Structure 1
Amino acid sequence: MKIARTLIATVSATLLATSAMAMTQAEHKAAKDSISAEYKASKDKCNALQGNAKDICVKEAKGKEDVARAELEAQYKPSAKADYKVRMARADADYAVAKEKCDDLNGNAKDVCVKDAKAAHVAAKENAKVAEAQAKPAGTAAEKGAAVSEARKDAAAEKNEANYKAAKERCDTLQGDVKSKCVDDAKRMYGQH
């Protein structure tokens, strides 16, 4: 009898959890409206700021909206593709904010900042692609392993190239042999030929 009650309680909890995860069209619309309202309120708060601080604030508000919308869609219609879109929205939002923050700098420091932001963006996007490959169903375990391996290989190459560009940008403040050695070291570190 006690086992039966436990089983009934477990099944009921599972059904409640499952129904709680499902989202109706009305709930979806309400959530979209809420995201829009929050974005508008966040953007309005930015009006109190000036210059690049205001620009950063606007990028942060827009990024939060984009991520929230992607997360909502992933919740409304769960899929590997929706999860990928969430990761990409986060990557794009982080990049937009990081790049905007670079506007507070000048010269080579700004160039390095932009390259670092780009390298982080490339890394996040490539990680999203690898996660998508891992989530995709494949015919056999070997086929899936090959697809994931290829995605990782491509991701590593893209990340190394972006990191090399950032490292090379740091070398631009140097001159002569020191600069040449710096560039050569960056090439070796990131596998660029």
Structure 2
Amino acid sequence: MKFARTLIASVAAGLLATSAFAMTEPEHKAAKERISADYKADKQKCDALKANAKDICVKEAKGKEDVAKAELEAQYKPTPKATQKVAEARADAAYSVAKEKCDDLKGNEKDVCEKDAKAAQVKAKEDAKVAAAQAKPADNAAEKGAAVAEARKDANAEKNDANYKAAKERCDALSGDAKSKCVDDMKRMYGKS
């Protein structure tokens, strides 16, 4: 009897928690309008800036809007895929801003900056794919384990490739024996031939 009461209380608490986070269509629409208004206000603040500082500000405002929209959709219709889209929106926003900040640099330093930004974006997106695979319900634990393992394998390959490209760009700044050693070390580190 005590177990039944505990079970009923748990189910009731879960239903209350779910309904507390549920969003009606009018609330969803109002939230979308608020996000749009916030973006316009943030973008307007950028008008006072000049050159690349203005470009960075605009990218930050757009990234903030994109992340807010993804978060809203994940709250409105929560699924592992929606949660993945939030992480991807954050990764894309961070990449966009980081890449724009690289425009203040020149030559190889700019190239390295851009490759590092891309590597960070790839890492975040691949981690989101793995998390989505882990969160996805499955009928069979073995199948889910295989799907997660495959997602991890693919993610590691993508991250390794992005990190390799960034490391290669760093080696390009060097010359002579230092460059040769850097390239050899990098190939060994990332398993490239």
Same structural fold, with TM-score higher than 0.5 when normalized by the shorter chain: yes
In structure 2, what is the Cα distance between the partners aligned to 1:145 and 1:17? Answer: 30
SS at match of 1:104: coil
Change (3 A) 1:126 1:13: closer
Look up the match of 2:146. 146
Q: Once the two structures are superposed, what CA deviation does each residue of 1:3-52 show, in whole Å capped at 9, x if it has no partner?
A: xxxx9998876554332211000000000000000000000000010010
| 1:80 partner amino acid | P
Q: Distance in 2 between matches of 1:9 and 1:125?
A: 39
Gaps of 5+ in 2: 1-6
How large is the Cα RMSD of the aligned pairs? 1.9
SS in 2 for 1:88: helix
Provide TM-score, normalisation by structure 2. Answer: 0.91
The answer on 1:168 being equivalent to 2:168 is yes
Q: Which runs of 4+ in 1 moved over 4 A?
A: 7-16
Q: Is the 8 A contact 1:161 1:192 kept in 2?
A: no
Q: 1:182 is matched with which residue? A: 182
One-letter amino acid of the structure 2 residue matched with residue 150 of structure 1: E
Aligned mates of 2:92, 2:11 — CA distance in 1: 41
2:157 is matched with which residue?
Answer: 157
1:4 corresponding residue in structure 2: none
**Matches of 1:77 and 1:169 in 2, distance apart?**
42
Moved more, 10-19 or 128-137: 10-19
CA distance in 1, matches of 2:191, 2:48: 47
Instruction: Using the aligned pairs only, state the percent identity.
Output: 78
Check conservation: 1:74, 1:83, Cα contact below 8 A: yes
Instruction: Please list, as runs of the form range in 1=range in 2, the aligned pairs for 1:1-193 lying within 5 A after superposition.
Output: 16-193=16-193
One-letter amino acid of the counterpart of residue 172, structure 2:
D
Give, in angstroms, the shift of residue 136 of structure 1: 1.4
Unaligned runs of 5+ in 1: 1-6
Q: How many residues align structurally?
A: 188
Counterpart residue number, 2:3: none
Distance in 2 (CA, whole Å) between partners of 1:170 and 1:22 is 49
2-structure distance, mates of 1:13, 1:154: 39
TM-score (structure 1 length as normaliser): 0.91
Distance in 2 (alpha carbons) for counterparts of 1:35 and 1:19: 23
In 2: Cα distance, 1:91 partner to 1:78 partner: 19
